[in-house]
Chains A and B, each alone.
Chain A
């Protein structure tokens, strides 16, 4: 394993420790569920995104579904699920990034 990879895994581990996995599990346990299923609501969002954006989004989502999940364990013993994506890496030149509001 390269030093860079080790550094990155340690930092991800630190985020998990900082984030408090136990607290999240505890919060989930005590969930009484009163406000409905937000993920369904998100799907129903009436945003009128342009058709080409929707198509692009669907394509990406389908690609994402092919992801394989792997589990890594940091030094503190925290497990994290990292997905090994199929996403293709593109080689790009230095060119301007386009800004566009999605929020």
Chain B
């Protein structure tokens, strides 16, 4: 049950999404400027869509090493490790496939031929990203897309900043897909409502989180319709085809891990999802669920303990 506590909240537009910060009403609202400034800095430096960012430089100079910074190198290594954990079902160099399917076109969408998909797949491969100290290079024709993780990275940095500043009762909601709860003894839980992507008025369940994050992936808001069929934007870097699953939700200790795992696991079938979750739960303490294209739902071993309704 929700408490009677009061909070201050601000929502701003960053990373192509509404970012909401909500913290105890005790805090002066000038804090919002400082917290959002951290997100702006991350957007400027690490978003592939921000002209001049480190990732933009790596993409523009594909084939050559680019001097970046310690954060970029550490972040890319961490993402590669997570890709390994997902057996390659998550890959930040998937951009050629996303372009091929027409997600950056405004018209003339069509289903790519098998040959086109095979050619695009040759350009995809996170293992070919070279990281030497703070120098990073991708191969010519490769391209890194940060959409699946940069927002979550910013959420984690803001959460760290909040904790360091003594803000211990707050929630960050980044576009609905990355939610981070900060709790203290006075307010031990935040609730998160998970809805059916096929019917947004239907609540699937209410989760209770304590100093944890919730990440979700679906094709709810970003898809193409080609010849009457819907194709989602999450494309398997292994097959080259969009996943037909409906939804994945992950509870994790940090937003970045949750966001990456939810994206990669979205490309799995139910059996593979459950098998991978056994390993990932042990390694990262994560729990999750998957709803496949026919609406069947599977849960990891301990996910249901977070469901309160």
Residue numbers of A with Cβ under 8 A of B are 2, 4-5, 7-9, 11-12, 15-16, 18-20, 23-24, 26-28, 30-35, 37-39, 41-42, 44-50, 53, 56-57, 60-61, 63-64, 80-85, 87-103
* Pair B17/A27 contact, Cβ less than 8 Å: no
Residue contact A93 to B68, C-beta cutoff 8 Å = no
Chain B nearest CB from A70 CB (Å) reads 9
- Of the candidates A94, A95, A101, the one whose C-beta lies within 8 Å of that of B220 is A101
Residue B69 lies at the interface, judged by CB distance under 8 Å to chain A: yes
Chain B residues contacting A4 (CB-CB under 8 Å) are 27-28, 31, 165-166
Instruction: Name the A residues within 8 Å of B214 (CB-CB).
Output: 99
Kindly identify which residue among A2, A83, A99 contacts B192, using a CB–CB cutoff of 8 Å: A99
In the assembled complex, B278 has its CB within 8 A of some CB on chain A: no
Given A26-B67, A35-B62, decide whether A89 and B176 contact each other with a Cβ distance below 8 A. Answer: no
1/0 per residue, CB under 8 A from A, across B103-141: the answer is 111100100000000000000000000000010000000
Residues of B in contact with A (beta carbons under 8 Å apart): 2-13, 16-18, 20, 22, 25, 27-38, 40-41, 45, 48-54, 56-57, 59-62, 66-71, 102-106, 109, 134, 143, 147-148, 151, 157, 161, 164-166, 171, 173, 175-177, 179, 187, 190-195, 197, 200, 206, 214, 216-225, 233, 247, 249, 259, 263
Cα–Cα, bound, A26→B206 (Å): 48
Whether B33 and A94, one on each chain, are in contact in the complex, defined by CB atoms closer than 8 angstroms, is no
Residue of A nearest to B5 (CB): A94
Q: A5-B30, A99-B176, A102-B177 are in contact. Are A46 and B106 (CB under 8 A)?
A: yes
Closest B residue to A25 by beta carbon equals B52
A8 touches B221 (CB 8 A): no
- Which applies to chain A's interface (DSSP): helix, strand, loop or mixed? mixed
Nearest-CB residue, chain B, relative to A57: B13
Q: Are A97 and B233 in contact (CB-based, < 8 A)?
A: no
Beyond A12-B38, A95-B2, A97-B179, whether A24 also contacts B54 by CB under 8 A is: yes
Complexed CA–CA distance, A24 and B259 (Å): 26
Q: CB-nearest residue of chain A relative to B152?
A: A103
Q: Which 8 A-B pairs have the closest CB atoms?
A: A100-B176, A20-B69, A102-B175, A96-B191, A101-B218, A60-B13, A47-B222, A27-B57
Asked if residues A38 and B147 are in contact (CB atoms below 8 Å), the reply is no
Query: Whose C-beta in chain A lies nearest to the C-beta of B18?
Result: A60
Q: Is the CB of B225 within 8 A of A48?
A: yes
A61 to B177, CA, bound (A): 20
Evaluate contact between A38 and B12: CB separation under 8 angstroms: no
Q: List 9 A-B contacts (CB under 8 A).
A: A8-B34, A8-B161, A8-B165, A23-B69, A44-B106, A96-B190, A97-B22, A99-B176, A102-B221
Known: A8-B31, A15-B41, A28-B52. A99 touches B147 (CB 8 A): no
| Residue among A39, A45, A88, A99 having the largest count of chain B Cβ atoms under 10 Å | A99
Which single residue of chain B is at the shortest CB-CB distance from A41? Answer: B104
Smallest CB separation, B195 vs chain A (Å): 7
**Which of A2, A27, A45 is B103 in contact with, Cβ under 8 Å?**
A45
The answer to whether A38 and B51 touch across the interface, beta carbons within 8 angstroms, is yes
Q: Answer whether A19 and B71 are a contact pair too, CB < 8 Å, given A39-B51, A44-B106, A102-B177.
A: yes
| Contact indicator A15/B10 (Cβ below 8 Å) | no
Residues of B within 8 Å of A88, CB to CB, are: 10
A18 contacts B69, C-beta separation under 8 Å? yes
Chain A hits for B195, CB < 8 A? 98-100
Q: Tell me the bound Cα distance from A18 to B42 in angstroms.
A: 12
CB contact under 8 A between A23 and B175, given known A32-B60, A38-B49, A101-B247: no
